[in-house]
Amino acid sequence: MLQPLFLPTKAQFTSDLTNPFYTLLASSINTTIIERQQIRIMKMAINDLKPMIEYARKLHGHVGPYVVIGLRMGTAAKKALNIGDEEAALLTAEVSVPLHPPFSCLLDGVQVSTTCTVGNRRLQFKNAKNVQAIFSSQKGARTVKITLTKPFREQLEQKKKQDKLDEAFAWEIAELPENQLFDVAVKDSMSSSVKVLR
């Protein structure tokens, strides 16, 4: 690959690491590459979610933070249980949530992302103060429990107080890394051991 004249070569980087200019330049180049990779990964994630969010808008009538939380919960569950879209019929969901909007909007997000619906009886739900979803896979007799992380719960509280649980915040949630949103614990019924994925 051609090196621009003003840039040191890779050999110069490694042979002249004591030169503060090269060290600074190397670290700034690395940061840029890592940042670009992160942006690319985030764009991929949002591109995958976008059609699902628009589908949820059609079903639910609007896009709010809890719709997107439900979508992301379903997506996280399928990933944790290694269930592809074509195997979604193997999933069942039990969701605990305050049964009034905006919180209950989460249920429609789960329905869209998992095909666990009220109609096909693969979605059970109950009224509860705290949000929690347990997904089971008939395939491997595994379950995954998904709860909201403490910092994310605090952020939601804050937004509620500011009356900002709006669509703009919903799209922000769509782009946040999964481990900022959820605590994910997979349980294998055979071994009864719980593996916490963060």
> Considering the complex, what minimum distance in angstroms separates the CB of residue 198 from Zn ion?
28
Binding segment toward Zn ion, per CB under 5 A, in 88-96, 104-112, 119-127, 157-165: 104-112
Q: Are 146 and 197 in contact (CB under 8 A)?
A: no
Q: What share of the chain is helix, strand, coil (3-state, %, to 5)?
A: 55, 20, 30
The CB-of-62 to Zn ion minimum distance in angstroms stands at: 6
In the bound state, the residue with its beta carbon closest to Zn ion is 105
What CA dihedral angle connects 198, 180, 54 and 73, to 10 degrees? 40
Nearest in space to 145 (alpha carbons), one of 194, 87, 107? 194
Residue 114 C-beta: closest distance to Zn ion, Å: 17
Please report, as a single letter, which amino acid is at residue 23. T
Q: Does 105 bind Zn ion (CB under 5 A)?
A: yes
Residue closer to Zn ion by CB (options 105, 146) is 105
> How far is it, in rounded angstroms, from Cα 106 to Cα 84?
21
CB closer to Zn ion, 64 vs 178: 64
According to CB under 5 A, which residues from 5 to 64 bind Zn ion?
64
Q: What's the closest the beta carbon of residue 108 comes to Zn ion, in angstroms?
A: 7
Q: Which residues bind Zn ion (CB under 5 A)?
A: 64, 105
